[in-house]
Amino acid sequence: MVPIARRTQTGPASVGWAGALISFSGLEQLNRRFGSVASQQGLVGFDGTVLASERDQYIGQSVAQFEIFRRAVSSARHGGIVEGHGAFIPAMVVYAYYPLRGYPIYVVVGQERDKVLAGWRVRRGQMIAATAAFSALILILTAFLNHYMRALRTRERDYNTLVDSARFGVFLLEGDRFVDANRTAAVMFGLASERSAIGLTPWELSPELQPNGRPSNELARERILTAARDGGSTFEWLHKRADTGETFPAEVDLSSLSTEGTTLALAIVHDVTQRKRAEEDLRRVSAEMLHLQDEERRRIGRDLHDSTGQSLAALEIELAQLERDAARWSVDAREQLERCMRLARQCSTEIRTASYLLHPPLLDELGLSSALRWLADGLRARSGLELRLQLPEGVQTVTADEELALFRVAQEALTNVQRHSSSPWVAIRLRTEPTSIVLEIEDAGRGIPAGQTDEPESSGRFAGVGVAGMRERIRQLGGTLTVESTPGGGTLVRACIALSQHARPLTERG
């Protein structure tokens, strides 16, 4: 118990004394509770007398002579924190003091400075170590990043140099618009610079229509979607120069990558004008060779018919005359004469057949349908095959060159059927459509191996140049020829040629 008394105003003209007895037994509980945080707790009067302490030997002693108390008292009457040498502890301490309202007493709590700062020092050391480690990591990552950035810039520079010096055009598309191009592309398309392509669409560097008749914008969007779906595609495209409007063919290799809703595509453009010209020259040479071949066949066929055929006919007449005078001959002589007559007739038939196959007169005189019937009759007679004919009697028109090409296709296809198919029947179908004429030769034989339908001449059955020759003949006329297996296991040869405006009727001609 600590008695405390002070003078106080008791009335308008009177002064008295007020006192109190304060119990500080609760300090022991505070010491037990906060001893690890504050090693000193107590009450000190304004005059420096220790009124209560966690240690009884300090009670009643005065700390007024210590500098730390004087600083605390002189600094303020509202409490605060001071640091200095302890009054009873030979070490640097930190005191927190607070005056009790209405009493000349300070509540004091103290702790050695080293203990106060111990946790901060540990945290500071940990923070310094962590900061040092983090700084070292940042330095290492920065070094790696600088290294890879330099390597990336070097590779980017090399890539840009390679792309710009490439002999093919390169475009980068985002969606359906160009976002970059190389120097070769700018020169190829007549652009002022590579940046002139930025923002353009593929159809702005193309004619309105592609060779197949479809609009360029519609077909270009379709190609981009196909590349995005399949990862890439290769196709031929007709482009247009921006400066002159001149068109040129190109082969486009389109590689696509879709990410976060954006479609990026790399278009590599090869100008194939020279190749197309070479192909066109080759087609012209091939067409001329086929024309010369047909003329030579016509000449040989006419010579066989007019010369060799007539000689064989005369031989048959002479042998027939001998047969009438052979009554007095021996049996062996007459048999030998009969063999000579049979051989002469056989040679005459074969020469006449060869002459017709080289260039059938019926094709010029009666037209394609009659020539095909004659061809079918000959095959039926030689092989015993069942012929199923569907030949028109219409009035559509076809040129002499188209008739000859279709006849040669039928001739080659029927020869292949006879030699290789082992089919019991063969069908010949000729039909006219609004803009084309179609010839089909179908059999029920062995068919062709899977994977060889596009280039059947590579298979054993169609080995040689026969099918290649048929395809070239039809292609020279702007048509198509396909060879494919049928569901029943046979083979179907189909030739399709667009009808010409200046031609003669397809019906029988006389």
Write the DSSP assignment of 252-286 as a string of letters. EEEEEEEETTEEEEEEEEEE-HHHHHHHHHHHHHH
Q: Do 386 and 368 touch, CB atoms closer than 8 A?
A: no
Using CA atoms, how far apart are residues 75 and 433, in angstroms rounded to an integer? 116
Query: How many whole angstroms separate alpha carbon 31 and alpha carbon 42?
Result: 10
pLDDT tens across 137-175, in order? 888 888 888 888 887 777 766 656 655 666 788 888 888
Neighbours of 379 (CB within 10 A): 20
Tell me how many degrees the CA angle 403-409-412 measures, rounded to the nearest 5: 135
Distance CA 96, CA 83 (A): 9
Tell me the C-alpha distance between 400 and 506, whole Å.
10
pLDDT number for residue 25: 59
Q: What is the pLDDT of residues 212-249, one digit of tens each?
A: 888 999 999 998 888 888 888 899 999 999 999 999 99
pLDDT of 98 reads 76
Token pair for 380: 């039926």
**Distance separating alpha carbons of residues 177 and 165, to the nearest angstrom:** 23
Nearest in space to 256 (alpha carbons), one of 281, 293, 221: 221
Angstrom distance (rounded) from CA 438 to CA 452: 22
Nearest to 4 by CA among 16, 26, 22, 24: 22
Q: What angle do CA 368, 480, 301 make, to 5 degrees?
A: 40
Q: How far is CA 354 from CA 289, 347, 359, 465, in A?
A: 21, 10, 9, 20
Q: With bands split at pLDDT 50, 70 and 90, how would you rate the model's confidence at 204? A: very high
CB under 8 A, 24+ apart: contacts of 456-463: 456/483, 461/416, 461/420, 461/421, 461/491, 462/416
Supply the pLDDT for residue 219. 92
361-510 matches 166-271 in CATH topology: no
- One-letter identity of residue 479: G
- Going by pLDDT thresholds of 50, 70 and 90, the confidence category of residue 502 is very low
Correct CATH for 2-116 of 2.60.40.10, 3.30.450.20, 3.40.50.10490, 3.40.50.920? 3.30.450.20
Distance from C-alpha of 112 to C-alpha of 39, rounded to nearest angstrom: 8
Q: How far is Cα 460 from Cα 347, in angstroms, rounded to an integer?
A: 32
| Domain 361-510 bears CATH identifier 3.30.2350.10 | no
164 class by beta-carbon count within 10 Å (0-12 exposed, 13-18 middle, 19+ buried): middle
Sheet (strand 80-85) strand order = 50-53, 40-45, 105-112, 92-99, 80-85
pLDDT of residue 370: 82
Report whether 413 contacts 428 (CB < 8 A). Answer: no
Q: Which of 110-119, 305-314, 335-344 has the highest mean pLDDT?
A: 335-344
Does the pLDDT of residue 508 top 70, yes or no? no
Highest mean pLDDT, choosing among 143-147, 251-255, 420-424, 486-490: 251-255
**Are the C-beta atoms of residues 456 and 404 closer than 8 Å to each other?**
no
Cβ-based neighbours of 223, under 8 Å, separated by 6 or more? 233, 235, 252, 254
Residues 6+ apart with CB under 8 A from 498: 435, 436, 478, 479
Reported confidence tier of residue 259, pLDDT bands at 50, 70, 90: low
When pLDDT is cut at 50, 70 and 90, the band that residue 201 belongs to is: very high
For 166-271, the fitting CATH number among 3.30.450.20, 3.90.79.10, 3.60.10.10, 3.40.50.300 is 3.30.450.20
pLDDT tens column, 274-291:
888 887 887 777 777 777
How far is the C-alpha of 437 from the C-alpha of 403, rounded, in Å? 10
- Residue 506 and residue 370: Cα distance in Å, rounded? 10
Q: Show the tokens assigned to 452.
A: 């060889």
Q: Give me the pLDDT at residue 206, please.
A: 92
What are the residues facing 108 on neighbouring strands? Answer: 42, 97
Q: Read off the DSSP letter of residue 420.
A: I
Helix (H, G, I), strand (E, B) or coil at 385: coil
The lowest-confidence range among 377-391, 417-431, 496-510 is: 496-510
**pLDDT at 306 exceeding the cut of 70:** no
Arithmetic mean of pLDDT over the chain? 77
pLDDT for residue 395: 44
Q: What percent of the chain has pLDDT over 90?
A: 8
User: Which H/E stretch holds residue 236?
Assistant: strand 232-240
The pLDDT assigned to 45 comes to 80
Cβ atoms of 35 and 41 closer than 8 Å: no
% of the chain at pLDDT higher than 70 = 79
- Please provide residue 117's backbone torsions phi and psi, each rounded to the nearest 5 degrees: -90, -5
What would the mean pLDDT of 47-56 be, rounded to a whole number?
A: 77
What one-character-per-residue DSSP string does 425-449 give? EEEEEEEE-SSEEEEEEEE-S----
Total residue count of the chain as it appears in this document? 510
Q: What's the confidence (pLDDT) of residue 36?
A: 58
Per-residue pLDDT at 415: 84
- Per DSSP, 29 falls in state H
Residues 172, 135: Cα–Cα separation, whole Å = 41
Q: What is the mean pLDDT of residues 384-409?
A: 80
pLDDT in tens, 11-30: 677 766 666 555 555 555 55
| 310-338 tens-digit pLDDT | 777 777 787 777 777 776 777 788 788 78
Report d(CA 204, CA 178) in Å as an integer: 11
Q: In this predicted structure, what is the pLDDT of residue 454?
A: 45
Phi, psi of 199 (to 5 degrees): 95, -15
**Domain edges within the chain:** 2-116, 166-271, 275-359, 361-510
Please tell me the distance from the alpha carbon of residue 28 to that of residue 496, in angstroms, as a whole number.
115
- Can you give the pTM of this predicted structure? 0.47
The pair of structure tokens assigned to 96 is 């927190």
What are the structure tokens assigned to 468, written together?
């290649």
> Is the pLDDT at 3 greater than 60, yes or no?
no
